[in-house]
Structure 1
Amino acid sequence: MNTNRIFWIGIIGVSLFVLTAIVGGLLIEGYSPVSQLISESYAIDTAYGGYLRAIGYIPSGILIALFCFKAAPYFRGFKLTRVNIIGIGIFYGLATVVVSIFPCDSGCNTDLIDPSISQLIHNLMGILTYLFAPVCILLTGVGTNKSDQFRKFSRQAIMLGFLSFASVGLLIGAGESDYVGLIQRVVEATFVLWVFSCAFALRSGKQIQG
C-alpha cells in the first residue's frame, strides 16, 4: 500500500473519531463536553449510542489501527519507532474498537456499583490506553530523533508524548471534577494530533531509512 493511501486512512480515521465525539455530545440534551466523559455519550442506555458505535467509533478505531499497522513498516530503519507505532495501533486503534463493543453502563458508573462485564472491560481498555499510548507516542519521537529528514515528526511526537503524560496525570487526579470531560478531550487530542503528524511525515513521500 502506498503512502498516500495510508495517509488518508489515518486522516479519515481520526477525523471520524472527532466528528463522532462532537455529534454524540450534541445528540444528548444537557450533555456537557467539559464535565462529562466521551464514553457517556454512547453509554449502553443512550438513544443513539448504538449508531455512534457502529458507524463512528468502531470504524474509526479500525482505520486508526490499520493506519498504524501499515505505516510501521515504512520506519524499518527505526525499530523503536516501528514497534511503538504498532503499539499505538493496538492501544489506541484496537482499544477504541473494544470500548465501543463493550460500552459503559448508564452514566459510565464511575463508582463501579454493581458494574456489568461490559463496564469492566470498557474500564480495563481505557486504563490500558491511557497507560500505554502516551509512552508509545513519546517513543516514536525518541526513535527518530537522529533523523534529519524526520526531525519535525520526532519533535512533535516527543512534545505530544509529554503533553499526553501530563494530561493523563491530570485526568487521574480529576476524579469527578467539573472539568474531567475537558481534560479527557485534551488527552484524546494528543492521540489525534500524533496520527496527523505521523500521516504527514509519511506523505513526505520517501520511505524512511535508518
Structure 2
Amino acid sequence: MRGGDVLLSRLALAALVAGLGILVAAVVWAGSVYPDYDHARQFISELGATGAVTGAEVSRWGFVPNGVLVAVFSVLAAWVLRRSALAVTACLLLAANGIGMAGAGVYPCDFECSRSDPSAAALLHDLFGGLGYVCGIAGVGLASLWARKSEAPWLAPLGLGVLVVSLVGFYGVVAEVALMGLFQRAMEAALAVFMLALGWALARGLRASRS
C-alpha cells in the first residue's frame, strides 16, 4: 500500500467529516433562531434564502464549505481508487454533489424558496441543487455496483439501501409533499452515511484493482 494513498485517504475522511459537521451545525443553529421554522415541513434551503434572518450565514458558512469539503473528499477518493474506472466515475459524481451544494450556497433561493416569479439566483439555486442530488444518487449507485467485487463488499448492500432512501427522498423534494423537509433530510442523511462508510473503508485500506 502506498504511503501517499494512506495519507490521502485519511485527509479525505477528515475533509468529509468536517464538511458534514459544518452543515449539521449550520442547520441546527439556523433552525433554532429562524422564527417558527419546521424542519419536517420546510426545505433546508429556506434557512439560507435571500432575506432570511439566517440567510447569509447559512449559505456562506454552511452550504458553501460543506460542498467544497465534500468535493475535496470525493476527488481524493477518486485518486485513491484510480485503478478502477467505475470507482473513479462514482467518486466524481459524488464530487458533483458537493459542487451542487456549494453552488446552491453561492446562489440562494428567494425568501421561503418561493416559486412565484423566481429570480435568476433562485433558478441557479434549483439547477445546482437538483443536479447535485441527481449526481449524488447516481454516484452511490455506481459505487455500490463497484463495491460488489471490491475488498469491501458490504458497501454494496449499504449503497442499495441508501439508493432507495435517496430516491424516495428526492421524489418528496421534487413533488413538494407535506413533509418535504423530512424527505430532504432523509436523502441528505442517507448520502452522508454512504460517503462516511466509503471514507472509513478508504482510511482502513480499501483500494481498487485495475479494471
TM-score by length of 2: 0.90
Deviation at 1:205, TM superposition (A): 2.5
For each residue in 1:38-76, what CA deviation from the matched residue of structure 2 results, as whole angstroms up to 9, or x when unmatched? 011111101221122222221111111000001112212
Distance 1:206 1:105, change over 3 A: closer
Task: Report if the CA contact (8 A) 1:167-1:187 is conserved.
Answer: yes
Please say if 1:15 is aligned against 2:15.
no
Task: Report if the CA contact (8 A) 1:42-1:50 is conserved.
Answer: yes
TM-score by length of 1: 0.90
Residue 119 (structure 2) aligns with: 116
Residues 93-132 of structure 1: pairs in structure 2 closer than 5 A: 93-109=98-114, 112-132=115-135
Task: Report if the CA contact (8 A) 2:80-2:207 is conserved.
Answer: yes
Bigger mean CA offset, 36-45 vs 9-18 = 9-18
Residue 69 (structure 1) aligns with: 75
Of 146, 149, 153, 1:146 maps to 149
Residue 31 (structure 1) aligns with: 37
Task: Report if the CA contact (8 A) 2:147-2:154 is conserved.
Answer: no
Please say if 1:209 is aligned against 2:199.
no
Residues 155-170 of structure 1: pairs in structure 2 closer than 5 A: 155-170=157-172
Residue 172 (structure 1) aligns with: 174
Task: Report if the CA contact (8 A) 2:77-2:202 is conserved.
Answer: yes
Distance 1:206 1:137, change over 3 A: closer
CA distance, structure 2, for counterparts of residue 126 and residue 206 of structure 1: 30
Task: Report if the CA contact (8 A) 1:13-1:64 is conserved.
Answer: yes
Deviation at 1:206, TM superposition (A): 4.7
Deviation at 1:158, TM superposition (A): 2.5
For each residue in 1:160-197, what CA deviation from the matched residue of structure 2 results, as whole angstroms up to 9, or x when unmatched? 12221122123333x2x331111111111112112211
Deviation at 1:126, TM superposition (A): 2.0
CA distance, structure 2, for counterparts of residue 19 and residue 156 of structure 1: 26
CA distance, structure 2, for counterparts of residue 19 and residue 152 of structure 1: 30
Deviation at 1:159, TM superposition (A): 2.1
CA distance, structure 2, for counterparts of residue 127 and residue 205 of structure 1: 33
Structure 1: state its 5+ residue gaps: none
Residue 188 (structure 2) aligns with: 188
Task: Report if the CA contact (8 A) 2:41-2:179 is conserved.
Answer: yes
For each residue in 1:20-41, what CA deviation from the matched residue of structure 2 results, as whole angstroms up to 9, or x when unmatched? 1221211201000011100111
RMSD of equivalent CA atoms: 1.6
- Aligned pair count reads 204
- Identity over aligned residues, as a percent? 23
Deviation at 1:123, TM superposition (A): 1.1
Distance 1:167 1:48, change over 3 A: closer
SS across alignment from 1:151: coil
